[in-house]
Amino acid sequence: MTLQAFLQSLVNALPLMGRYALITMGIVLIFRTTATTNFAQGLIGTFGAFVITWAAMEWTTLPLWADVLLGMAAGFAWGVFVDIALIRSARKITSAGKQMITMGVMMILVNIIPKVFSKIVLNNLPGKSISTKNFEFELFGQFLYIPINGIWAFLVAVVLLGAVFLALKFTKWGLGVRATAANETVAQMLGVNTRLITAFSWGLAGALAAVGGFFTGFGTVLNVTLMGNVQVFAFLACVLGGFSSFPAPILGSVIIPLIYVFAGNPHIMGSQAGIWQNMITFVVVLLLILIFPNGILGKKLVKKV
Q: Which residues are at the interface with other proteins (CB under 8 A)?
A: 37, 86, 89-90, 93, 95-101, 103-108, 110-112, 114-115, 228-229, 232, 235-236, 238-239, 243, 275-276, 278-279, 282-283, 285-286, 289-290, 293-294, 301, 303, 305
CA 157 to chain centre: 9
Closest distance to other proteins from the beta carbon of 263 (Å): 11
CB of 89 to other proteins, least distance (A): 7
Closer residue to other proteins, CB minimum distance, 114 or 174: 114
> Cβ of 58: how many Cβ atoms within 10 Å?
9
From the CB of 47, what's the least distance to other proteins, in Å? Answer: 15
The phi and psi torsions of 252 (rounded to 5 degrees) equal -60, -40
CA-CA distance, 229 to 257, in Å (whole number)?
12
Cβ 301 to other proteins, closest distance in Å?
A: 8
Nearer to other proteins, 147 or 249 (CB): 249
CA torsion, points 190, 192, 193, 197, in degrees to nearest 10? -150
Q: Contact, 81 vs 261, CB < 8 A? A: no
**Nearest distance from residue 68's CB to other proteins, in Å?**
28
Q: Residue 37 Cβ, how far from other proteins at the closest point, in Å? A: 5
Nearer to other proteins, 30 or 68 (CB): 30
How far apart (Å, rounded) are the C-alpha atoms in residues 76 and 41?
12
In terms of CB distance, is 68 or 226 closer to other proteins? 226
Q: Which residue, 104 or 127, has its beta carbon nearer to other proteins?
A: 104
Whole-angstrom distance, CA of residue 127 vs CA of residue 59: 12
User: Measured in Å, how far apart are the chain's first and last C-alpha atoms?
Assistant: 54
Residue placing its CB nearer to other proteins in the complex, 31 or 214: 31
Q: What are the beta bridge partners of residue 121? A: 221
* 8 A C-beta contact, residue 253 and residue 24: yes
